[in-house]
């Protein structure tokens, strides 16, 4: 069992090894409360996992060390085990899901570990690690379901209380549960009135669902940008600890995670990986009431591929309503594009790129714009034959809504398919006359990342009209 004596022993063992990471005050990140970040993204190996891995390996017997160690990980535990094994002169083998960020894989190799890439997710890597353990007689270092691992991770809780003694609430990421189990145990023993809020990605809510059902649940699949907490089944030991010491578990969406990563990068100049940002996202999007509280969110890691970071930041910009990308069909005639750009310009938007002929139909136009100020633009299309007469209005707000209006159609929410300026036909009549496209609105997944690249509605050309018809579609680039 875990104990406060074990936690203090872990703190003693780790003191000469790890960085004592700062608790950083923020201003305006979460309005209405005093909000702080525990920046364990600044830890050696770039994440908190070094704490538990190092303490666990340090407490092994000489015989267990001599056999060599094996671990499974989505990347951060792998680096922690590899670092500790190198430091103590122990042979290490690490099973990593093959879809893990390349930066984590290469970092693990750089510490001298033998890396085995396993198809699938963490649970598949775990099964392979267990097989190799039994086959080769290696000592298994579990990433979360181990009391020594929990004690090592729990030293973060001791540090937070030393650095922020009046803390009222702590947001903690949950994958398998080792981090929150150790941290919650430490905090509840020393400051029982402090609320511990666990946070999971909505695409991998294994602990949240298990606590809701009152028993351990294995998810059929998990899908999230937060690869470090992409776990199908929580540990039995961590489940019991969470049930006893954690006050609440909430989930955050992929867009909320992306927005948190973007915000922390812009405002705090810190890089957060998906798993490291979920606690910040929960506070930013008010998953629990933080009004008037002293709140700390654990930024648990910052190991993210640069290419992945680019896609996440693009998604974060879209979530915050700061960029939009959409497609429209324009006839091939003078002033068509100019008329359309007049609408965009009236909003104070900055055009990032224009790609003619790149849509689902010949003649489609795709345009990406970054918003500076909210606003509304209207163009009188009587003077713009491309729009077929009448008035067309495009409105963009910070909530990420694009509204197209025209021909008495009223306001149309982002993603709806409308026609403007078609002789004598209402929008719903036009839609009934056209065969439905099966791919309308379907998200395309980028291979190997799980991040939706686009959510696109198909555009349609007008037929049987004396005016040119414009079919508008929203294309949100994630």
Active site residues: 49, 300
Cα dihedral value 196, 201, 204, 209, nearest 10: 40
d(CA 471, CA 478): 22
State the residue for tokens 């006359």: 433
Q: Which whole-number Å values give the CA distances from 241 to 52, 169, 182, in the listed order?
A: 16, 18, 8
SS3 of the chain: the string is: CCCHHHHHHHHHHHCCCCCCCCEEECCCCCCCCEEEEEEHHHCHHHECHHHHHHHHHHCCCHHHHHHCEEEECCCHHHHHHHHHHHHHCCCEEEEEECCCCHHHHHHHHHCCCEEEEECCCHHHHHHHHHHHHHHHCCEECCCCCCHHHHHHHHHHHHHHHHHCCCCCEEEEECCCCHHHHHHHHHHHHHCCCCEEEEEEECCCCHHHHHHHHCCCCCCCCCCCCCHHHCCCCCCHHHHHHHHHHCCEEEEECHHHHHHHHHHHHHHHCCCCCHHHHHHHHHHHCCCCCCCCCEEEEEECECCCCHHHHHHHHHHHHHHCCCEEEEEEECCCCCCHHHHHHHHHHHCCEEEEEEEECCCCCCCEEEEEEEECCCEEEEEEHHHCHHHCCCEEEEEECCCCCEEEEECCCCCECCCCCEEECCCCCCHHHHHHHCCCCCCCCCEEECCCCCCEEEEECCCCCCCCCCCCCEEEEEEEEC
Nearest Cα residue to 58 out of 94, 19, 97, 84 = 84
Region for residue 112 given its phi and psi (left: phi exceeds 0; alpha: psi -120 to 50; beta: otherwise)? left
Distance of CA 292 to the CA centre of its chain: 27
Nearest Cα residue to 177 out of 211, 213, 224 = 211
Measure the N-to-C terminal CA separation of the chain; round to a whole number of Å. Answer: 45
Phi, psi (degrees; rounded to nearest 5) at 263: -65, -45
């Amino acid at each position: 069992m875990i104990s406060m004596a074990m936690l203090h022993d872990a703190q003693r063992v780790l003191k000469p090894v790890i960085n004592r990471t700062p608790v950083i005050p923020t201003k305006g990140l979460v309005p209405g409360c005093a909000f702080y970040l525990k920046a364990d993204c600044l830890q050696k190996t770039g994440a908190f996992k070094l704490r538990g891995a190092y303490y666990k390996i340090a407490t092994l017997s000489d015989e267990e060390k001599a056999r060599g160690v094996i671990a499974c990980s989505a990347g951060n535990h792998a680096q922690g085990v590899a670092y500790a094994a190198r430091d103590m002169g122990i042979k290490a083998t690490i099973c990593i899901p093959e879809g893990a960020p390349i930066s984590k894989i290469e970092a693990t190799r750089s510490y001298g570990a033998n890396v085995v890439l396993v198809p699938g997710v963490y649970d598949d890597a775990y099964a392979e690690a267990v097989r190799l353990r039994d086959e080769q007689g290696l000592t298994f270092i579990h990433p979360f379901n181990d009391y020594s691992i929990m004690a090592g991770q729990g030293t973060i809780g001791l540090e937070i209380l030393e650095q922020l003694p009046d803390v009222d609430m702590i947001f903690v990421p949950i994958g398998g549960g080792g981090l929150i189990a150790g941290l919650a145990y430490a905090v509840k023993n020393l400051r029982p009135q402090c609320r511990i809020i666990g946070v999971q990605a909505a695409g991998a809510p294994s602990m949240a669902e298990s606590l809701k059902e009152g028993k351990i649940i294995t998810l059929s699949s998990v899908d999230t940008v937060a690869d470090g907490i992409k776990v199908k089944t929580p540990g039995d030991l961590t489940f019991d600890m969470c049930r006893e010491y954690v006050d609440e578990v909430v989930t955050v969406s992929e867009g909320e995670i992306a927005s948190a990563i973007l915000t922390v990068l812009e405002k705090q100049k810190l890089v957060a990986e998906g798993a490291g940002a979920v606690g910040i996202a929960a506070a930013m999007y008010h998953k629990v009431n933080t009004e008037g509280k002293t709140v700390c969110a654990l930024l648990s890691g910052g190991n993210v591929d640069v290419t992945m970071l680019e896609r996440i930041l693009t998604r974060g910009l879209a979530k915050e309503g700061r960029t939009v990308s959409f497609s429209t069909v324009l006839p091939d005639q003078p002033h068509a594009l100019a008329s359309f750009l007049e609408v965009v310009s009236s909003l104070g938007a900055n055009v990032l790129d224009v790609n003619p002929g790149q849509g689902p139909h010949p003649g489609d136009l795709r345009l990406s714009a970054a918003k500076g100020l909210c606003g509304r633009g209207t163009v009188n299309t009587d003077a713009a034959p491309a729009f077929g007469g009448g008035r067309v209005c495009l409105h963009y707000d910070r909530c990420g809504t694009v509204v197209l209006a025209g021909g008495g159609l009223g306001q149309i929410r982002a993603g709806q398919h409308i026609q403007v300026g078609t002789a004598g036909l209402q929008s719903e009549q036009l839609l009934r006359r056209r065969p439905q496209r099966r791919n309308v609105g379907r998200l395309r997944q980028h291979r190997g990342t799980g991040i939706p690249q686009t959510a696109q509605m198909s555009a349609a050309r007008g037929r049987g009209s004396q005016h040119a018809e414009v079919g508008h579609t929203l294309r949100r680039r994630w």
